[in-house]
């Protein structure tokens, strides 16, 4: 009921596009920081922001790569959320993992051998996941179960998300990157089912602030072996932990959103959701100028001039911008009237 109260409160608040963009970016940076920190990343939250903006730090190359790759995965998550299809595809989860681990939008195959999770101090086995030969069927069953539950609407969405997170971590389909991908899957489930809270929440901070409780809630069953205790284990404690985290995170969002809405301006989040990440960035160019050029788009996005030209042609076809002039030197673009309210 706590979660639902916050969800309803946030959905009804008027939040301007500038404030919403700021809150979303803040949430993405927080998620990136804490989700990678859980896996041992040493960058501070401010350093994470600096890396995303192009900064570097001596002897932190691996940490920087993890942060940039996770941020790319969040970009792809936005793409999946904005797709009309309500179902979740197994290939999309594999692509999220590919971005997390390699920074490439390419599905990665599941592990082909056994992996074991050990205590970093004693070296004792903490968990032995299912054998590699069973992973494809288990993952197929998990995705089918998630889609079935979301369509049937029998279980509360927070419980579906909790079980999805637990089962992905339990299957442990990859040698590495399982935790980060499980948390992305959780966010995908929540966003696809109306619990996205305008994209301004972060569950990762709740986990990271008490890692011991996070791991303890996930570690259930009579044995460390998947086949002897984990597969059929009682997971009520994990679901309680997960839902408590959602309630805590959503309450913080409710407070932030409430403070932001007191400016009394119209909610424009529905328009913002129609734009991709690059279009949102390009909006800033129109704040001070009626017209922009491909050169400005190229410099803002850090892409080749030819790529920027192709992008602008695509946006003209989609009705985001309007082209004026044909020659390369005189060509310029105006923001379509539909989006002027976002400035």
Q: What is the pLDDT of residue 104?
A: 94
Which residues of the chain fall below pLDDT 70? 260-270
Q: What is the pLDDT of residue 322?
A: 93
CA distance 197 to 316: 30
Tell me the DSSP string of 261-305. HTT-PPP-HHHHTTS-HHHHHHHGGGGT-SEE-HHHHHHHHT--H
Q: What is the pLDDT of residue 236?
A: 94
Helices marked H in the chain — which ranges? 2-11, 17-38, 45-52, 61-82, 90-102, 135-152, 157-171, 178-192, 204-208, 211-218, 236-261, 269-272, 277-283, 294-301, 305-318
| Maximum CA extent, the chain | 72
Strand, coil or helix: 110: coil
Q: What is the pLDDT of residue 94?
A: 98
Dihedral of CA atoms 322, 325, 330, 334 in degrees, nearest 10, equals -20
Domains in the chain, start-ordered, CATH in brackets?
2-261 (1.10.3290.10), 275-342 (1.10.10.10)
pTM for the structure as a whole = 0.76
Q: Which residue carries 């590495």 as its tokens? A: 176
Interval 292-306: pLDDT, tens: 999 999 888 888 889
- C-alpha to C-alpha distances, 31 to 94, 108, 164, nearest whole angstrom: 20, 22, 19
CA distance 332 to 216: 57
Q: What is the pLDDT of residue 263?
A: 57
- CB 94 within 8 Å of CB 108: yes
């Amino acid at each position: 009921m706590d979660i639902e109260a916050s969800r309803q409160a946030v959905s009804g608040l008027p939040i301007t596009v500038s404030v919403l963009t700021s809150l979303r970016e803040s949430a993405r940076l927080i998620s990136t920081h804490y989700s990678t920190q859980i896996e041992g990343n040493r960058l501070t939250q401010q350093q994470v922001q600096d890396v995303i903006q192009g900064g570097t730090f001596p002897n932190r190359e691996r940490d920087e790569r993890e942060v940039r790759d996770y941020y790319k995965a969040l970009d792809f998550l936005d793409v999946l959320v904005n797709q009309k299809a309500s179902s979740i595809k197994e290939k999309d989860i594999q692509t999220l993992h590919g971005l997390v681990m390699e920074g490439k939008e390419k599905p990665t195959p599941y592990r082909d051998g056994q992996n074991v999770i050990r205590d970093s101090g004693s070296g004792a086995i903490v968990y032995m996941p299912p054998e590699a030969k069973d992973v494809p069927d288990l993952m197929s069953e998990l995705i089918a179960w998630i889609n079935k539950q979301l369509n049937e609407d029998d279980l509360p969405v927070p419980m579906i998300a909790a079980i999805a997170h637990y089962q992905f971590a339990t299957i442990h389909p990859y040698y590495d990157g399982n935790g980060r991908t499980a948390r992305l899957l959780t966010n995908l489930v929540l966003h696809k089912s109306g619990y996205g809270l305008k994209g301004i929440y972060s569950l990762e901070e709740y986990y990271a602030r008490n890692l011991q409780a996070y791991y303890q809630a996930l570690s259930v069953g009579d044995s460390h072996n998947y086949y002897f205790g984990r597969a059929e284990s009682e997971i009520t404690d994990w679901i309680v932990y997960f839902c408590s985290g959602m309630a805590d995170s959503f309450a913080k969002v409710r407070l932030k959103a409430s403070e932001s809405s007191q400016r009394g301006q119209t909610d424009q989040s529905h328009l913002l959701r129609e734009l991709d990440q690059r279009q949102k960035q390009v909006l800033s160019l129109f704040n001070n100028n009626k017209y922009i050029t491909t050169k400005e788009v190229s410099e803002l996005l850090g892409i080749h001039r030819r790529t920027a030209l192709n992008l602008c042609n695509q946006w003209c076809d989609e009705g985001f911008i309007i082209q004026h002039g044909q020659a390369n030197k005189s060509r310029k673009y105006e923001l379509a009237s539909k989006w002027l309210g976002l400035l």
